[in-house]
């Protein structure tokens, strides 16, 4: 008997919406952030000669529940009486297909393209992160917020020599850091081995050298920050973590222990209403909030380690805490 599990069937739910509703759906939606596999939402014009007639397509891994469809309808009130079109999709890489129409993202001096045929932007750092299996194409507000924060840090003269990107996803934020501080030693990690593989491919596509040494990026499959490869390179003067609020809080002792006296941590992946809890967790570990920048409902936090804390090996919040993050790379 063949015991190999069949791949999960992908489904699409389509609803009509207005242009205003479509524009309000830019980025990921807070209502779905707690789902293990949140849907990918795409909007497009439904009728070329009617600028207010738009459509919402939601792509799910597995057949969407009645509750998920009801939640989806709350995002587009004009479709409250509309019957959703629910259909199973053929076995294709639907995440890539759904993202092929994404526009390039410009944040600070960075211009991130998702399609190789899109033109580069003059006088910008152009990066190519093609849509695919890992998070972090630049489309999400948290990733764009981190890019803008890193650019702003460079513009005010901040310098870094040892950089870590925890939960790297596609490698984008690590690439950005190396473009800003090209002599830095950098390492990027993700719990997902596929994400690490994709990051390596993206590094080669963007001319980022892999390996050890200044100006090179090391890649490692690691859960959180409590891993020999990450600890062995510590302490870091810049650590980036674009994951989710829960893992950020769980990892606070581990990540702060990896940062040198006076070092900087950039955090993202949290919602406005989660910011106070995240800040409190890092303040307990000797960090102070130096800057906060909001993009919609997604804040990006820059924290600095107080000189009185100094370097120490990672410690955990409690006996049950494993110093690990779930399978989330850069959003």
CATH number of the domain within which 171 lies: 3.40.50.150
pTM: 0.67
DSSP string, 83-145: PPEEEEPPSS-HHHHHHTTPPPEEETTEEEESSTTSPPPTTSEEEE--SSSSS-SS-SHHHHH
Together in a domain, 181 and 297: yes
Together in a domain, 200 and 77: no
Together in a domain, 31 and 169: no
299 falls within a domain? yes
What range does the domain containing 202 cover?
Answer: 105-305
CATH number at residue 65: 3.30.70
Together in a domain, 153 and 41: no
Together in a domain, 154 and 242: yes
Q: List per-block mean pLDDT (blocks of 10 residues) for the chain, which spans 331 residues.
A: 55 90 68 70 74 84 88 91 89 51 80 86 92 50 92 97 95 97 97 89 96 96 92 97 91 96 94 94 96 92 80 42 45 49
pLDDT of residue 263: 97
**136 to 49, 51, 216, 266, 294: CA distances (angstroms):** 34, 30, 20, 16, 18
pLDDT of residue 2: 45
Asked whether residue 171 is marked as a ligand-binding residue, the answer is: no
4 falls within a domain? no
Q: What is the pLDDT of residues 41-92, one digit of tens each?
A: 777 777 766 777 888 988 888 888 998 899 899 989 999 999 999 998 776 5
Q: Which residues pair with 126 in a beta bridge?
A: 111
Together in a domain, 89 and 174: no
315 falls within a domain? no
How many structural domains does the chain have?
Answer: 2
pLDDT of residue 53: 85
Together in a domain, 166 and 263: yes
CA gap 303, 64 in Å, rounded: 39
Asked whether residue 169 is marked as a ligand-binding residue, the answer is: no
pLDDT of residue 21: 86
Asked whether residue 138 is marked as a ligand-binding residue, the answer is: no
208 falls within a domain? yes
36 falls within a domain? yes
Cis preceding linkage at 78, omega within 30:
no
Together in a domain, 141 and 160: yes
Q: Which residues pair with 14 in a beta bridge?
A: 57, 85
311 falls within a domain? no
DSSP state of 27: S
Please report, in angstroms and rounded to a whole number, the separation of the first and last CA atoms in the chain. 39
Together in a domain, 142 and 210: yes
Together in a domain, 191 and 274: yes
Q: What is the pLDDT of residues 63-73, one digit of tens each?
A: 889 988 998 99
pLDDT of residue 33: 63
Asked whether residue 114 is marked as a ligand-binding residue, the answer is: no
Which residue among 74, 99, 124 closes a domain? 99
Which strand (E) or helix (H) includes residue 278?
Answer: helix 275-284
pLDDT of residue 310: 42
pLDDT of residue 38: 77
1 falls within a domain? no
């Amino acid at each position: 008997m063949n015991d190999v599990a069949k791949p999960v069937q992908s489904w699409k739910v389509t609803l009509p919406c207005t242009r205003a509703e479509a524009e309000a759906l830019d980025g990921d939606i807070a209502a779905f952030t707690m789902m293990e596999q949140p849907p990918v939402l795409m909007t497009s014009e439904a009728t070329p000669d009617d600028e207010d007639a738009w459509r919402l397509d939601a792509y799910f891994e597995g057949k969407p529940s009645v509750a998920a469809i009801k939640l989806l309808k709350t995002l587009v009130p004009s479709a409250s009486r509309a019957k959703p079109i629910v259909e199973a999709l053929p076995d294709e890489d639907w995440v890539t297909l759904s993202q092929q129409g994404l526009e390039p993202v410009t944040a600070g001096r960075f211009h991130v393209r998702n399609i190789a045929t899109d033109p580069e932007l003059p006088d910008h750092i152009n990066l190519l992160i093609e849509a695919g299996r890992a998070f972090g194409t630049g489309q999400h507000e948290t990733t764009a917020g981190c890019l803008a924060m890193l650019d702003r840090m460079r513009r005010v003269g901040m310098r870094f020599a040892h950089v870590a990107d925890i939960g790297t996803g596609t490698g984008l934020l690590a690439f950005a850091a190396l473009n800003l501080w090209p002599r830095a030693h950098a390492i990027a990690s993700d719990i997902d081995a596929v994400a690490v593989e994709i990051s390596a491919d993206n590094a080669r596509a963007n001319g980022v050298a892999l390996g050890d040494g200044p100006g090179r990026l090391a890649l490692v499959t690691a859960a959180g920050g409590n891993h020999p490869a990450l600890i062995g390179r510590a302490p870091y003067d810049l650590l980036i973590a674009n994951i989710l609020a829960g893992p950020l809080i769980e990892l606070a002792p581990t990540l702060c222990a990896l940062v040198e006296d006076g070092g900087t941590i950039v955090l993202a992946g949290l919602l406005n209403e989660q910011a106070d809890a995240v800040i409190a967790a890092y303040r307990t570990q000797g960090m102070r909030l130096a800057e906060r920048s909001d993009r919609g409902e997604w804040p990006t936090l820059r924290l600095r380690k107080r000189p009185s804390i100094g370097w120490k090996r990672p410690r955990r919040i409690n006996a049950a805490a494993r110093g690990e993050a779930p399978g989330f790379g850069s959003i």
